[in-house]
Amino acid sequence: MQLQLNRPLVFFDLETTGINISKDRIVEISLLKVYPDGKEESKTRRINPEMPIPPESTKIHGITDEDVKDCPTFKMIARSLATLIEDCDLAGFNSNRFDIPLLAEEFLRAEVEIDLHSRKFIDVQTIYHKMEQRTLSAAYKFYCNKDIDNAHSAEGDTRATYEVLKVQLERYQNLSNDIQFLSEFSSFTNNVDFAGRMIYNEKGEELFNFGKYRGEPVRKVLIKDPGYYSWIMNGDFALDTKQKLTGIRNREIKKP
């Protein structure tokens, strides 16, 4: 099955130093760019994370400090990567909760402007969990009746994710071969920031989605507890979260 696309869709996967979006770094990124006419273009790069790769992470993806010591840093490839995914929607496996937020953090740290919030995101894991409740390896076996070659490598997982989505579209009649539909279907919440610390309610109003002010409007919290803003800005929160919170604060300050 060929995906019905209005613009390119980039399937991607990250191998990282860990799972902390604020602190960990990318050590490998693989992209599979699928064009509306069905043409495919793939690219895989290893990246020097500028920090030690913990042994427990190496056990998962097999990448060591020695493997990446001579590789470019993310900052060195950030602009070319931004150009590669310009005007593209993005897809991955567990990407909405991890890969997208971490990728956004890396671009912010590299000081490369890219508006990821304007993209459509398809999380194949979310579709799978809503339909079957499994993992990527199990999903690939379930849908494609094959084992993943090079499992836990960015390239192997990226290709498997693409193949799983195509089979999902063939199998489930209630899934529409439409990027807008798939993006909405594979999203759990309407996030303001990629980490989901703030979400929109049905009125389009930003709410905190964690902590003591969970469920309360962000603008009201900033008024009644100004110190909460400083606490977040000085805390271990994602740069994207801080950027979006600052935008809300500045917007409210400008109001008459």
pLDDT tens for each residue of 89-110: 999 999 999 999 999 999 999 9
What DSSP state is assigned to residue 153?
Answer: S
Neighbours of 215 (CB within 10 A): 10
219-229 pLDDT, tens digit per residue, is: 999 999 999 99
Among residues of the chain, what percentage have pLDDT more than 70? 98
48-100 pLDDT, tens digit per residue, is: 999 999 999 999 999 999 999 999 999 999 999 999 999 999 999 999 999 99
DSSP assignment of 74-120 equals HHHHHHHHHHHTTT-EEEESSIIIIIHHHHHHHHHHTT----GGGS-
Calculate the average pLDDT of the chain.
Answer: 93
- Single out the residue of 6, 9, 7, 11 nearest to residue 163, CA to CA: 11
- Strand bridging mode 89-92 / 121-123: parallel
Whether 3 contacts 11, CB under 8 Å: no
- pTM score of the predicted model: 0.74
Question: Quick one: pLDDT at residue 186?
Answer: 87
Over residues 31-45, the mean pLDDT reads 96
